[in-house]
Amino acid sequence: MSPYSQLLGPFPYRGVATGQVVALTFDDGPNEPYTSQIADFLDQRGIKATFFQVGRAVEQHPQVTARLARSGHVIGHHGYAHEFPAYLRRRTLDQDVQRGLDAFARAAIRPAMYRPPWLLRTPALQSVLRRYGLHVVSGEFCHALEVFQPDPRRIARRALAKVRPGCILIFHDGFDGRTGYRGLTVEAVKIVVDRLIDQGYSFVTVDRLLGVPATTPAEQTKQ
């Protein structure tokens, strides 16, 4: 579950960047109103981000996922159920990945990137993802306790301390694909973005940072 371990195969947590660029990512949504609040702020700043979304949450808020894609944000796969047992065995992992892809397809989205829930990797993960044409992505958590919603200034300070050129920064706009308060994450994102702009950073989506596709051809999702 380490963001950095490469023991079970490539697990990119940052990109090779020669300039001051960072990729903002958001896990566990869509979760309203917080996903839309983050999107509104990013759109005001002209920033595109990557949202790793949970299939069952996409089924609850397909219009939010579609709106993000229309705005130029990139959608990644973050599992369907976001329930721990589903990711421990090859059969249930495969079923969860496929069920998630079906949920995205109903929202007219075909993600090509996959971030495992809790960053959990098993020996089966890479082969399952290859079957569906998905590229695995890690990142660096903005704050170890962000999911418990500490003061947004604390979240922001820790996030800013982690930023280096090419960083993939993980925030949470949802809670395991369920509803949950994320208002302090919204405020922390505003602080981080404006501070990074002041420091001369620009923002890219993960696919551009890593040089991988953002979407998968429709025929690959049906194997």
Q: What is the average per-residue pLDDT within 33-43?
A: 98
> What 3-state class would DSSP assign to 24?
strand
Higher pLDDT, 60 or 221: 60
Q: What is the pLDDT of residues 143-159, one digit of tens each?
A: 999 999 999 999 999 99
For residue 220, is pLDDT > 90?
Answer: no
**How far apart (Å, rounded) are the C-alpha atoms in residues 46 and 145?**
28
Q: What pLDDT does 219 receive? A: 52
Q: pTM for the complete prediction?
A: 0.95
Q: What is the average per-residue pLDDT within 29-38?
A: 98
What mean pLDDT is reported for the chain? 95
Given pLDDT bands bounded at 50, 70 and 90, which one contains residue 131? very high
Judged by average pLDDT, the poorest of 15-24, 89-98, 180-189 is: 15-24
Angle at 88 between CA 87 and CA 93, to 5 degrees: 40
Q: What is the average per-residue pLDDT within 111-140?
A: 96
Tell me the helices (H) and strands (E) count for the chain, helix number first.
8, 8
Rg of the chain on CA atoms, in Å: 16
Q: What pLDDT does 216 receive? A: 85
Percent pLDDT > 90 in the chain is: 91
For residue 100, is pLDDT > 70?
Answer: yes
Q: What pLDDT does 153 receive? A: 98
Residues 6+ apart with CB under 8 A from 104: 53, 55, 58, 65, 75, 77, 110, 111
For residue 221, is pLDDT > 70?
Answer: no
**How far apart (Å, rounded) are the C-alpha atoms in residues 23 and 49?**
7
Fold classified for 21-222: TIM Barrel (3.20.20)
Q: What is the pLDDT of residues 39-92, one digit of tens each?
A: 999 999 999 999 999 999 999 999 999 999 999 999 999 999 999 898 999 999
CA distances from 38 to 68, 91, 97 (A): 10, 35, 26
Given pLDDT bands bounded at 50, 70 and 90, which one contains residue 16? confident
For residue 218, is pLDDT > 90?
Answer: no
Residues 6+ apart with CB under 8 A from 147: 172, 175
